[in-house]
Chains A and B, each alone.
Chain A
Amino acid sequence: MQAGRGFRLAPRRLLLTGWPWLAVGLVLLAIRLSKGAGFSDLYAVLTRPLWPGSAQSEWLRSAQRLDQQSRLVQLEADNKRLRQMLDLREQGGRLVSAPVIARPASLWWHQLLLARGAMAGLASGDVVLAPGGLVGRIASVTPTTALVELLTDPASKVGVWVPRTGEHGLLVGTGTARPVLRFLDRDTRARAGDLVTTSPASTLLPPNVTVGVVQRLDPQGTPAPEARVQLSAPIEALDWVQVRSMAHEATP
């Protein structure tokens, strides 16, 4: 028993006197195992005041925006020239801004009432645009008001196309917030996330106006595949819209 106690005592004393060395050893082991990860964190904390600030990313973003804007202007001019060469319909036409003065809360009809009418040059069939894209078409006008049939109205049918795959379809309102896109082809290559716009060769609508995004595809739809479309314009939140009168274009 004497020897046993001696054996137990010696390491304990060693532990009591030599703990700083043990701690240093553990730290070194931690550094080795983590490959000095703590140091890069420490460096990051210490140099934080010297990091590139938000101003720098703002400069980059504004430069990018400027670049995109100038490219957009150039491409639009180019596009216009090419369209003129092809004798296609232009996106021109007079734009009339109109406030939304009533949004009757009946889901039988999805409609808006605008405070501009025939006296402002609007006519039945004109296209109604909002921030975000196409909203609907004018169903009827009075001298000072116009009634808009929204894309979500069950009676609304508009020809659209999917630019990525070049497929045509019919956008039919369902009375809910998301209209249905009925494709004309039996097998469609469109998929969820695809952009939906008006056709570039459209005669009734201005070409290449954003309509929405394909949200869900039902390939088993009859007689043709169907897709739910989320409209890009926030129809519930509209205060002002723009009406592009199509009648003025027919007479050059």
Chain B
Amino acid sequence: MTDLELWRRGWCLATALLVPLMVLLSPRWLQLDATGPAWSVLWLLPWALVDGPWSGALVGAGLALLLDALHPGAVSQVPALVLLGWWWGRLGRRSVVMERSLSLGLLALAGSLVLGVSVLAQLALTGAWPASALQVLWAQTLLTALLAPLVCSLWLLIWRQQLPGVR
């Protein structure tokens, strides 16, 4: 791998910083029932599909640590995102079919559901169960799945242009 490729790869990885920024920004016009999409899922899904299970799990952990810093309390997104990064990385290694719009949508739906359930389980353990939990979970899952074909394929396109060597 040449220096230029490493440099470009670093830039591609740095786009992960957009995720916490989007979480903080959370534009009103991209909300369903006052809930935004799971931006971490929308970024991690294409990254793991392209870059494999090890990279997916590692970057997922880093991203989750960044996101955890945005919230008070002990609830963590690390386990869910590591698991999802690993799983998607394995799927991406197996076939290219996963990068079709419908597959991206379904994978994002499952990922958002896993992430929401893991957060909810931790909230339930700490005794702070939100009253509208299932409604929020459902709204976030639907919104993420609807945005996934758009956003994920855009990321895939950009990364492929920057790194011709990538699968």
The verdict on A155 contacting B36 (CB below 8 Å), with A175-B131, A175-B133 known, is no
Please give, as numbers and ranges, the residues of chain A lying within 8 Å of B140 by CB-CB distance.
106
A111 to B67, CA, bound (A): 14
Residue of A105, A111, A139, A174 most packed against chain B (CB within 10 A)? A105
- B contact residues, range: 20 to 34
Task: Please name the residue on chain A nearest to B23 by beta carbon.
Answer: A104
> Does B75 interact with chain A (Cβ within 8 Å)?
yes
Mask of B26-55 contacts with A, CB within 8 angstroms, 1/0: 101001001110000000000000000000
> Does B73 interact with chain A (Cβ within 8 Å)?
yes
> Does B71 interact with chain A (Cβ within 8 Å)?
yes
Please give, as numbers and ranges, the residues of chain B lying within 8 Å of A108 by CB-CB distance.
71, 75, 119-120, 123, 130, 136
Please give, as numbers and ranges, the residues of chain B lying within 8 Å of A88 by CB-CB distance.
none
A104→B70 contact, CB < 8 A: yes
The verdict on A155 contacting B126 (CB below 8 Å), with A106-B36, A107-B34, A174-B131 known, is yes
B34→A105 contact, CB < 8 A: yes
Q: Of B36, B75, B119, B123, which is within 8 A of A104 by CB?
A: B36
Please give, as numbers and ranges, the residues of chain B lying within 8 Å of A139 by CB-CB distance.
72-73
Q: Of B28, B72, B119, which is within 8 A of A149 by CB?
A: B72
Tell me the chain B residues, 99-135 only, with Cβ under 8 Å from chain A: 119-120, 123, 126, 128-133
- A contact residues, range: 20 to 34
Residue of B128, B129, B133, B140 most packed against chain A (CB within 10 A)? B128
Contact residues of A: prevailing secondary structure: loop
> Does B25 interact with chain A (Cβ within 8 Å)?
yes
- Name the distance in Å between B134's Cβ and chain A's nearest Cβ: 11
Please give, as numbers and ranges, the residues of chain A lying within 8 Å of B72 by CB-CB distance.
109, 111, 139-140, 147, 149, 155
A106 to B71, CA, bound (A): 10
Task: Please name the residue on chain B nearest to A180 by beta carbon.
Answer: B131
Please give, as numbers and ranges, the residues of chain A lying within 8 Å of B34 by CB-CB distance.
105, 107
A155→B35 contact, CB < 8 A: no
A173 to B127, CA, bound (A): 12
> Does A26 interact with chain B (Cβ within 8 Å)?
no
A141 to B120, CA, bound (A): 25
B128→A154 contact, CB < 8 A: yes
B73→A109 contact, CB < 8 A: yes
B123→A154 contact, CB < 8 A: yes
Q: What 6 A-B pairs have minimum CB-CB distances, sorted nearest first?
A: A175-B130, A139-B72, A154-B128, A105-B26, A105-B36, A102-B24
What are 6 A-B pairs at a CB distance below 8 A? A104-B36, A149-B72, A154-B129, A155-B73, A174-B131, A175-B132
Q: A108-B120, A108-B136, A111-B72 are in contact. List 10 more A-B contacts (CB 8 A).
A: A103-B26, A104-B36, A105-B34, A109-B72, A113-B24, A139-B73, A140-B72, A154-B129, A155-B128, A175-B133
